Structure 1
């Protein structure tokens, strides 16, 4: 029995498993097993971790995996031996285990990397993992038990990128839900850029600026956080912002497992892959999702760390890992359409198309689309074999 081993149960890992199962089913192959290794049998809906009720932002996977014949092993991958074709892991009880593979799909995701700023680990929150987002939510809920002060009612969001903006624009509603509609609150985004959403382009910036004004969100630009403490932040230029809550949202890097494989990596640690998502220099290893530095088209664009790209990357990687064992042609990964749907809290949202972010929808029209994406499109299919396998076809566009 041959084995396709998938490491990770995020968007790329789940769709790799389903896509591999689809191709094996298509060819009536019964001598290849699919094993998925992850800490939990659940897809954690990471793009929603800026929202309230974050403890509900996951989808269980056991029934889905059972329906398509994927074997789930609970554990955290710790070591990859590419010569022996094994992956070492630690299970929930702390026991060591090892899994062999004929083809490996590395889909172990990315993580927020906090800088070595004084007080960062002790006092800053983030929304990177579900446990961290729950910790933030519990903290926000606890604010109502503290006496009123401007510090209590102030939140600093460090970083004005995608995660920072969605976190900041949702924060006024989250604070008022805890403190009351009449409370005077402050939400301040600290960003090193020279203007609001500097990296996002001119097409989307006016909407972000308008939403910020509407929601009362302040931006402190050309600034970096030099220290964090229990009562706020000190900026690199010496300015002080008193705040009872500091949220860090910048600095993502691919899983450290990528460093254990022979191959070229980009500045974020992502493995360079060919058009079939095989890691360059490797015969038996594919990469998908946030660990893959993959060209989306012939124009020089590369996949970004997003579920939009992870789903399609997963479908292709799983398909191609199975194709290699079946001896059938692989399917080249291409994802020429790129969209941005950015949640902007009570103001609405903004939807753009293209890498140059051409504005298509704003406010409530975009918000309706964002709600559909967040509550329907990015969730896994029902635990029905035919439905799940049909949904895993790499030819289905993801946008």
Structure 2
């Protein structure tokens, strides 16, 4: 029987595993953790909405067949020439590999960013951000250092803006708990580009700006960070801002193991794939999600989104099965559902299948998308287990 190996249990890797299990096809899934976390929702617990345990699911709750083998380990290298994946638990061989290693932060060469900024990119980093901010407010009560109350979020894409929305709603609770005057707190979003949320149209961007500004967020577009020091950022304008909390959400690139293994990659380190999601270098390797350099009909690479990764995972699974059955392979085409940005627990902006939405309706659609994803992973059983946990602020 052919050996199928999935490397990574993010949106793409886990969807692939679910599809293979539905088909009764044995496989091995290796992942750093024994759980899957909701990457696109991490701004919520980081900013004080709900408990952290509610934003992850145990892999054994999703993959329940004995033939589905789960390995908790870290991928340390790739050897596609030998059909092997190197891990901290030893070598894993395969006949077919689905490469879904996720991403690494993109710092754009900004000195000091890697050393001094926090990242929102995993369940653990979201928890650290939350705990750090609360610790800063607690420390201010003792030493009155106002830089503890200044939070800088670098990047105004989905992650940065959604994080600002959640943090803004958390601030009043922190101010009340630690007796902090409102005028002392600053939440600053810095973006080098001329606008926030570039994937949305101007009307929706303005609506988001109005909501965030009313919540107390300082939106500063056209403001590039050129250097990060300990507790300090330097701007292209020459301005220097002191802050004890600096969070970077400005971009991602592929896991560096991909380029190191000899795959043909784009400037972001993503492996080039054909229309079937096969590596152009190794036909028995399928590359999906943030690891894949897939060019859409417009000639541009697909952006790294959860919906793209999920759809890629399903197609990769189908194509592995088709190869084994000697059937024609499925062509991947992104079914773009739209973009929704939450600006807190009860308001958002976005578009769904070309329909613009904002306010409470956008927030409700965002909640609906969470339940839809849980249904795809584990049907009614998983929905019932998680339902009601991912919608209300604590």
> Does residue 1:371 correspond to 2:367, yes or no?
yes
Cα offset, 1:295, TM superposition: 4.2
Per-residue deviation, 1:381: 4.9
Whether 2:388 is the aligned partner of 1:352: answer no
Superposition deviation, residue 77 in structure 1: 1.3
TM-score, scaled relative to structure 1: 0.84
Aligned residue-pair number? 370
The residue aligned with 2:314 is 315
> Aligned to 2:74, which of 72, 76, 93?
76
Structure-2 residue corresponding to 1:335 = 334
Kept after mapping to 1: 8 A contact 2:39/2:122: yes
Rounded to whole Å, the distance in 2 between the matches of 1:239 and 1:112 is: 25
The alpha-carbon deviation at position 139 of structure 1 amounts to 0.6
Equivalence for 2:391? none
2:282 matched residue in structure 1: 282
Change (3 A) 1:73 1:195: closer
Offset from partner CA, 1:219-272 (integer Å, 9 cap, x none): 222222233345432212220223231111112001123214444322222222
Superposed counterparts of 1:14-25, under 5 Å: 14-23=14-23, 25=24
Residue 102 of structure 1 corresponds to 95
3-state SS of 2:13 partner: helix
SS of 1:290's equivalent in the other structure is helix
Q: 1:291 to 1:145 in 2, by over 3 A?
A: same
Kept in 1, the 8 Å contact 2:152–2:245? The answer is: yes
Conservation of the 8 A alpha-carbon contact between 1:76 and 1:90: yes
Q: CA deviation at 1:105?
A: 0.6
SS in 2 for 1:204: helix
Name the SS for the 2:279 alignment partner. coil
Q: 1:79 touches 1:257 (CA, 8 Å); kept in 2?
A: yes
Segment drifting more, 277-286 vs 221-230: 221-230
From 89, 108, 112, the counterpart of 2:105: 112
CA separation in 2, counterparts of 1:68 and 1:210? Answer: 52
Residues 93-141 of structure 1 deviation map (CA, whole Å, 9 limit, x = unaligned):
xxxx111111111011112133554543453212112221111111112
Q: Report the alpha carbon displacement of residue 301 of structure 1 after superposing the two structures with TM.
A: 5.5
**8 A contact 1:158–1:247 mirrored in 2:** yes
DSSP-derived class of the 2:44 partner: coil
TM score, norm. by length of structure 2? 0.85
Comparing 198-207 and 106-115, the one that deviates more:
198-207
Counterpart in 2 of 1:267? 267
Q: Is the 8 A contact 1:47 1:307 kept in 2?
A: yes
C-alpha deviation, 1:342, in angstroms: 0.6
Matches for 1:204-283 after TM superposition, within 5 Å:
204-283=204-283
- 1:129 and 1:12 map into 2 onto residues whose CA distance is 15
Q: For 2:148, what is the secondary structure of its paired residue? A: coil
Change (3 A) 1:140 1:387: closer
The RMSD of aligned alpha carbons is 2.6
Q: Deviations along 1:275-329, whole A, 9 cap, x unmatched?
A: 2111113221111111112245x44464321111111100000111122122223
Paired with 1:340 and 1:286, the residues of 2 have a C-alpha distance of: 26
SS in 2 for 1:40: coil
Tell me the SS of whatever aligns to 1:328: coil
- Runs of 4+ in structure 1 off by over 4 angstroms are 115-119, 380-384
Q: Which runs of 5+ in 2 are unaligned?
A: 46-50, 383-394
Inter-CA distance 74–210: structure 2 relative to 1 (3 Å threshold) = same
8 Å CA contact 2:187–2:216 kept in 1: the answer is: yes
